[in-house]
């Protein structure tokens, strides 16, 4: 299996050429330290950790898997040592507030590092990602006392965290959840209930695990309006901050699953476990959405990271493997040509490349918006970023996870039978990537969130900042064929959006019937903007390129942009037809007659 | 995990309502025994075996996997007992010639039974399928002596068979193969070389394994024109037919792979192994194509069988699982609706259903053509069937395997997180189905076979019998909206075909650039014909339906046909655009610049 190499050149293209992180950081209070020097110092160091420490445990972690014995979970060999080194090197605290033990770097920069860890070893990196999410939630909603109790330990990585939402009878529909929180007279709550599908729910990496738990107070209203948010450590915390007695939190079992074997997916039982309320009673869902939204962007990053990993292996294989002749002979002195000479193999590699590099721009852009949401002092700027994120989060999560399934599948296909055997790691990318379309809300749920809750729920207003931003981009680049393509994509999509709003209001079944195809269509439009942005940046880069290698890089961008618009964007045409076909072809068959 | 139930009602719809197997059998010499009584007697018995014997070993066979120890392969617990029962019940001999120990039933009827075994347990059923293929090859190309030596043992199932093509350096490109066959002075050959990716290559089910091996004679020309075909048993065969000494055939290792864990994928080493030539020297590739073509149809059947299995589980889950409200309230007395009430869930189930039932018709139709090819006494009829098969085989194999990947993915998606855990079997369907797009020629290879070898190679003549057949169908059903839809699909496709032939002649890179998208487009057209055929048959059935349940069945067919034409067929629109975009967007990027 070829070694994963962090695509630093392309990351820098996104950060410097396209999105201009330095200007963005300069405009945000608290981001002053994230200078180009800092960025250029951090990236290779994070890359070294990803390549040399996390990546070598990718295949072995899959083979060995997390193990559950007598209520205790052990992570695969090497995971704990890698985690301890990660913390020791200071990576655990990258974007947590300095006053709570973190390094205070922007979220977006931590995100770039995350991509590296995820490409190197998704299952391992999830332990870190869940901790970051838990810390973000505590930081956003905890009292000062709670923050002081948990944040330094999370920021240093000495403790890990999780999010506990799902119960056996409710995944997408959290309104049905039953876990109960009974107030004590010390200001805390006793949590009772059972959660399932808890990623990184238990393990041997740290002495304590801080669970963020959704539960109901005894007087809670039914449904989602009666859910509160709690922080519940696995082990009690002594006055001096040290780890105390067990806190009634246990791991009942772990799942045997398709992939991410190295990360324990747990049933977590709470039996009179002591917890503390985060935020206001019954307002847990809105509190949880801080976590959920960041997690969704994190999942998008996972999806992208697998596309990148799968592309790297497929590309090296395609350069080495000789098989059959291409019309243009590449290796007349050898018995056959390297398979990269065959246009169909290039089609597969370019699909991976377009989604990986385009997905990188999109996720990096979204994480800039998170920076703004967290740090900007201007309310209007924050609000605009929030609205952009409200729109882009479901699209980015679901679109990238769906195209990651496709792209990692192509990564297998390039290798033929060798893609199916474990040795090359391609089938692991496909198995690991598969989860991204499921957890943190399936693609169907993201579609409903986008079309139902966001677009119809705001009468279409949620798309306005995106439309404005793209129109500005097209205006600033008037005359460019890339801007023209983007503008016509935007206009077609706006027409479709209008029609879909209208038909959804006439027949509410259309919302659910159109949701996924509409989301995918939207994804291709957003990706069109990303590739136009990349192409125009590459044209500028090409004019300024100082050496042949830079020129090659920018020309490759332009070829990939062309490929995107000619081979991937046209998928919107079929999607427009199916969206327009209405819900009748889905609803007319009585449910009892699907199988007779 | 819900139990697999053989879809006998739908199989009979294909056999009786649509394809009229009885009339087909009545017209073929040697098929007289395959009366409706026989069919109706065989199907439930084969179903009983599939449901009660093979299916219970599906999950356990995956968990346990085939094991290699000290050069010996053991199959998962229960596989051998199931195999012995299979042979004892007489299933191994279903379609072999009676004079060589078989029951002499038509290939197409054995194929229906195969679907059952494959849905129940793909990995297990492959041991049988490979044996059937080996027997077919020996029967077609062996001398009388060779047939007498091997066929009765294969027909009874006492020995199994394999096909040994791939070597480490050649999979798609068999012209590169190196295994050597040196003549002895007893009329036999000594085989030396190493083969890999040999499915069912070694195991403990039988005392002997009969390998069909591609190798070169010492004086062979280079490339595919210097390949000969040999039969090489694992164990020597004594004069009296009993198993003798080892024959220099050994299993060097087995692969760890994504799925079909219960079937051993072997490295098979031949060290001075004694073998016999099948057919003429250097003509092995054409001999092997008997085997390869049937295997490709067999792979299509595997693909279909996973779609069916995944659909069954997804459907039962969707009926049971309650989660959220649909616009049309289905269960107002329960806290939420069964998820089948949600149009997006129906979209996924209907996609599975359309590809499963449509794929059933297509594979069953192809196997009728194989009957004709094997049994018809009229040369012109045989030639037409051969040409139809030449065209339909790559389409059926590649299209169904690609949509099986999609459909089994949707089967996971319907279950959300539960689809990702092993307990429900959905992720196993996805992992097992994944191989179908790889072995027996990847989708890329099928695309090249269709567009390059078949269509361009015959100047388009290969499609003529298909076009004639569809035109006849449309003419016979003139006035039906289903016939109209099919006719316009055919016409659009013919236009596209003509353009693609033209552009391929102008630029040979277009063949490889367009091949896969063209094959998929063709698949949607072929499937349109299948669904129109089904719909028209269902309309007739509905007129004649004797009870409510039959009426429901036929109405469900019509709803699924509508779904197919409104939600799946429109994918051709995007494919037409990408095919027409030409090879430039694939070839312009220098190979060294894919990753910089």
Residue A159: enclosing H or E segment and its boundaries?
strand A159-164
Task: Look at residues A374, A354, A263, A292 and name the one whose alpha carbon lies nearest to residue A562.
Answer: A354
Give residue B291's pLDDT: 75
First vs last Cα of chain A: how many Å apart? 47
Instruction: Please indicate whether residue A406 is annotated as part of the active site.
Output: no
Spatial contact of B578 and B521, defined as CB atoms under 8 Å apart? no
Task: Look at residues A524, A504, A522, A528 and name the one whose alpha carbon lies nearest to residue A580.
Answer: A504
Whether residue A438 and residue B427 make contact (CB cut-off 8 A), yes or no, is no
Residue among A167, A308, A373, A440 flagged as catalytic: A440
State residue A270 phi and psi, 5-degree precision: -110, 115
Question: How do residues B108-118 score in pLDDT, each as one tens digit?
Answer: 999 999 999 99
**Chain A, nearest residue to B199 by Cα:** A417
Q: What angle do CA A460, A461, A466 make, to 5 degrees?
A: 100
Instruction: Summarize the confidence of residues B288-304 as an average pLDDT.
Output: 90
DSSP A8-20: HHHHHIIIIIIS-
pLDDT band at B1 (very low <50, low <70, confident <90, very high): low
Residue among B115, B274, B373, B440 flagged as catalytic: B440
CB within 8 Å of B557: residues ≥ 6 apart: B13, B357, B534, B535, B537, B538, B541
Checking if the pLDDT of B290 tops 80, the result is no
Spatial contact of A31 and A91, defined as CB atoms under 8 Å apart? no
Q: Could you tell me if residue B438 is left (phi over 0), alpha (psi between -120 and 50 degrees) or otherwise beta?
A: alpha
Instruction: Summarize the confidence of residues B188-217 as an average pLDDT.
Output: 98
Select from B320, B417, B517 the residue whose CB has the most chain A CBs within 10 Å, as the one to mutate to test that interface: B417
Spatial contact of A419 and A352, defined as CB atoms under 8 Å apart? no
Residue B79: enclosing H or E segment and its boundaries?
helix B79-88
* A163 strand-pairing partners: A212
Q: What percent of chain B has pLDDT over 70?
A: 99
Question: How do residues B48-89 score in pLDDT, each as one tens digit?
Answer: 999 999 999 999 999 999 999 999 999 999 999 999 999 999
Buried b (16+ CB within 10 A) or exposed e, B93-119: bbbbbeebbbbbbbbbbbbbbbbbbbb
Q: Which chain B residues contact residue A344 at CB under 8 A?
A: 444, 447-448, 512-513, 515-516, 586
Spatial contact of A527 and A534, defined as CB atoms under 8 Å apart? no
Task: Look at residues A321, A528, A309 and name the one whose alpha carbon lies nearest to residue A426.
Answer: A309
Q: Measured between alpha carbons, how far is A266 from B211 in angstroms, rounded to an integer?
A: 46
First vs last Cα of chain B: how many Å apart? 47
Q: Is the dihedral of CA B575, B576, B581, B587 positive or negative?
A: positive
CA distance A47 to chain B (A): 16
Q: Which chain A residues contact residue B324 at CB under 8 A?
A: 172-173
Whether residue A567 and residue B556 make contact (CB cut-off 8 A), yes or no, is no
Q: What is the pLDDT along chain A (596 residues), one digit of tens a residue?
A: 678 999 999 999 999 999 999 999 999 998 988 999 999 999 999 999 999 999 999 999 999 999 999 999 999 999 999 999 999 999 998 888 888 888 889 999 999 999 999 999 999 999 999 999 999 999 999 999 999 999 999 999 999 999 999 999 988 889 899 999 999 999 999 999 999 999 999 999 999 999 999 999 999 999 999 999 999 999 999 999 999 999 999 999 999 999 999 999 999 999 999 999 999 999 999 888 777 888 999 999 999 999 999 999 999 999 999 999 988 767 888 899 999 999 999 999 999 999 999 999 999 999 999 999 999 999 999 999 999 999 999 999 999 999 999 999 999 999 999 999 999 999 999 999 999 999 999 999 999 999 999 999 999 999 999 999 999 999 999 999 999 999 999 999 999 999 999 999 999 999 999 999 999 999 999 999 999 999 999 999 999 988 999 999 999 999 999 999 999 999 999 999 999 999 999 999 999 999 99
CA distance A285 to chain B (A): 16
Whether residue B343 and residue A583 make contact (CB cut-off 8 A), yes or no, is yes
Task: Look at residues A246, A550, A300 and name the one whose alpha carbon lies nearest to residue A446.
Answer: A300
Q: Which chain A residues contact residue B322 at CB under 8 A?
A: 169
Instruction: Summarize the confidence of residues B294-323 as an average pLDDT.
Output: 97
Give residue B522's pLDDT: 98
Select from A425, A549, A574 the residue whose CB has the most chain B CBs within 10 Å, as the one to mutate to test that interface: A574
Nearest to A585 among B444, B566, B586 (CB): B566
pLDDT band at B288 (very low <50, low <70, confident <90, very high): confident
Give start and end residues of each alpha helix (H) in A234-378. 284-320, 343-375
Question: How do residues B336-376 score in pLDDT, each as one tens digit?
Answer: 999 999 999 999 999 999 999 999 999 999 999 999 999 99
Q: Measured between alpha carbons, how far is A158 from A100 in angstroms, rounded to an integer?
A: 13
Q: Measured between alpha carbons, how far is B235 from B257 in angstroms, rounded to an integer?
A: 28
Tally of CA atoms within 13 A in the half-sphere of A516 that contains its CB? 20
CB within 8 Å of A347: residues ≥ 6 apart: A567, B513, B516, B586
Whether residue B258 and residue A341 make contact (CB cut-off 8 A), yes or no, is no
Give residue A328's pLDDT: 77
Q: What angle do CA A103, A397, A528 make, to 5 degrees?
A: 105
Nearest to B556 among A197, A574, A596 (CB): A596
Give residue A1's pLDDT: 66
Q: Measured between alpha carbons, how far is A348 from A339 in angstroms, rounded to an integer?
A: 11
Per-residue DSSP letter, A435 = G
Q: Which chain A residues contact residue B170 at CB under 8 A?
A: 323
Checking if the pLDDT of B328 tops 80, the result is no
Whether residue B556 and residue A448 make contact (CB cut-off 8 A), yes or no, is no
Checking if the pLDDT of B421 tops 70, the result is yes
Whether residue A419 and residue B431 make contact (CB cut-off 8 A), yes or no, is no
CA distance A377 to chain B (A): 39
Nearest to A344 among B420, B513, B570 (CB): B513
Checking if the pLDDT of B526 tops 90, the result is yes
Query: Rounded to two decimals, what is the model's pTM?
Result: 0.97
Instruction: Summarize the confidence of residues B124-136 as an average pLDDT.
Output: 94
Residues across chain B? 596
Burial of B320 (0-12, 13-18, 19+ CB in 10 A): exposed
């Amino acid at each position: 299996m070829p070694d994963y190499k962090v695509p630093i050149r392309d990351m820098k293209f996104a950060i410097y050429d396209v999105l201009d992180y330095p200007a963005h950081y300069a405009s945000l209070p608290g981001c002053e330290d994230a200078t180009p020097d800092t960025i250029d110092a951090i990236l290779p160091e994070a890359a070294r950790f990803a390549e040399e420490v996390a990546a070598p445990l990718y295949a072995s972690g899959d083979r060995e898997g997390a193990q559950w014995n007598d209520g205790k979970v052990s992570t695969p060999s090497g995971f704990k040592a890698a985690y301890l080194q990660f913390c020791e090197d200071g990576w655990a605290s990258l974007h947590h507030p300095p006053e709570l033990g973190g390094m205070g770097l922007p979220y977006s920069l931590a995100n770039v590092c995350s991509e590296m860890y995820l490409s190197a070893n998704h299952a391992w990196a999830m332990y870190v990602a869940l901790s970051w999410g838990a810390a973000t939630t505590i930081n956003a909603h905890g009292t000062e006392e709670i923050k002081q109790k948990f944040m330094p330990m999370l920021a240093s990585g000495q403790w890990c965290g999780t999010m506990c939402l799902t119960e056996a009878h409710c995944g997408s529909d959290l309104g049905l959840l039953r876990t109960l929180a009974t107030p004590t007279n010390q200001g805390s709550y006793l949590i009772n209930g059972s959660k399932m599908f808890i990623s990184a729910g238990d393990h041997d990496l740290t002495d304590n695990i801080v669970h963020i738990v959704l539960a109901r107070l005894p007087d809670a209203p039914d449904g989602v309006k009666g859910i509160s948010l709690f922080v519940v450590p696995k082990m009690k915390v002594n006055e001096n901050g040290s780890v105390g007695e067990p806190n009634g939190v246990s791991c009942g079992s772990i799942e045997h699953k398709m992939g991410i074997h190295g990360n324990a997916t747990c049933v977590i039982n709470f039996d009179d476990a002591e917890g503390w309320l985060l935020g206001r009673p019954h307002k847990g869902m809105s509190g949880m959405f801080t976590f959920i939204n960041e997690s969704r962007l994190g999942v998008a990053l996972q999806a992208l990271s697998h596309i990148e990993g799968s592309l790297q292996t497929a590309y090296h294989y395609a350069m080495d493997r000789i098989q059959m002749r291409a019309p243009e002979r590449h290796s007349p002195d050898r018995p056959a040509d390297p398979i990269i000479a065959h246009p169909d193999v290039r089609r597969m590699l370019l699909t991976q490349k377009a989604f990986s590099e385009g997905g990188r721009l999109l996720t990096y852009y979204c994480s800039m918006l998170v920076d703004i949401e967290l740090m900007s002092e201007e309310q209007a700027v924050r609000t605009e970023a929030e609205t952009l994120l409200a729109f882009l989060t479901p699209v980015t999560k679901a679109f990238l996870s769906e195209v990651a399934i496709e792209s990692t599948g192509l990564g297998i296909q390039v290798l033929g039978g060798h893609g199916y055997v474990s040795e090359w790691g391609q089938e692991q990318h496909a198995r690991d990537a598969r989860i991204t379309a499921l957890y943190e809300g399936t693609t169907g749920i993201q579609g409903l969130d986008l079309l139902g809750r966001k677009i119809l729920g705001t009468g279409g207003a949620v798309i306005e900042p995106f439309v404005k931003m793209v129109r500005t981009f097209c205006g600033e680049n008037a005359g460019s064929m890339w801007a023209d393509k983007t503008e016509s994509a935007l206009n077609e999509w706006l027409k479709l959006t209008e029609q879909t709003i209208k038909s959804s209001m006439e027949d509410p079944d259309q919302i659910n019937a159109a949701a996924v195809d509409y989301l995918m269509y939207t994804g291709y439009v957003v990706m069109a903007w990303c590739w136009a942005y990349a192409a125009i940046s590459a044209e500028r880069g090409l004019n300024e390129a100082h050496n042949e290698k830079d020129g090659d890089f920018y020309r490759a961008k332009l070829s990939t942009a062309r490929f995107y618009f000619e081979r991937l964007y046209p998928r919107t045409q079929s999607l427009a037809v199916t969206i327009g076909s209405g819900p009748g072809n889905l609803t007319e068959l009585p449910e009892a007659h699907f199988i007779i």
